[in-house]
Amino acid sequence: MKVRRSFALVGFAVACSTTLTGCSVDTLIWGADGARVIGTTENLIQDLAKDGTTDLICADAEVDLGTPKDWDGLSAGEPERFVAEFWELQVPLDPNWSINLEGLPISLTQGSEYPGDVFYRETDDGLCLIDVGWNTLVDAG
């Protein structure tokens, strides 16, 4: 019972400090840069699910955005600084951030491709989209 009460008090303290300082939960967990990546990704998903276009694409990028239905039902996952050893295909694109996408598009069927990761480059104007990593749904069960 004491453990439960302790967790509740910690949760309440975090909620109060978040409200009082104006910080979001994402900022508390991921820091200001990570929260910016999450926010940018949520905006990207919303734009692409709506009409398949976005102003966030880097000037030198050639990105396969798919169709609006590919983005419907997705949300931003966990941001991280780009790791070249893990994302070898994206190394030449010089990204600074990657973030996984959570959820599955509503219209997804077995064998369909869907956006799984998004890659951003830092510019003087903020983040811009440099690539999208696509996954294939192997088992719809």
Q: The domain 30-136 is classified under which CATH number: 3.30.750, 3.40.50, 2.30.30, 3.10.450?
A: 3.10.450
Round to whole Å and give the CA distance between 118 and 97: 8
pLDDT higher than threshold 60 for residue 20 = no
List pLDDT tens digits, range 70-119.
999 999 999 999 999 999 999 999 999 999 999 988 878 889 999 999 99
Structure tokens at 61: 């990028």
pTM of the predicted structure, to 2 decimals: 0.80
| Dihedral class, residue 94 (left if φ above 0, else alpha if ψ from -120 to 50, else beta) | left
Residue indicated by tokens 């990657």: 98
Round to whole Å and give the CA distance between 52 and 49: 6
Report the DSSP beta bridge partners of residue 97. 81, 120
Residue ranges of the alpha helices (H) in 52-86?
A: 68-71
Of the chain, the percentage scoring pLDDT greater than 90 comes to: 70
Q: How many residues does the chain have?
A: 141
In contact, 80 and 99? CB cutoff 8 Å: yes
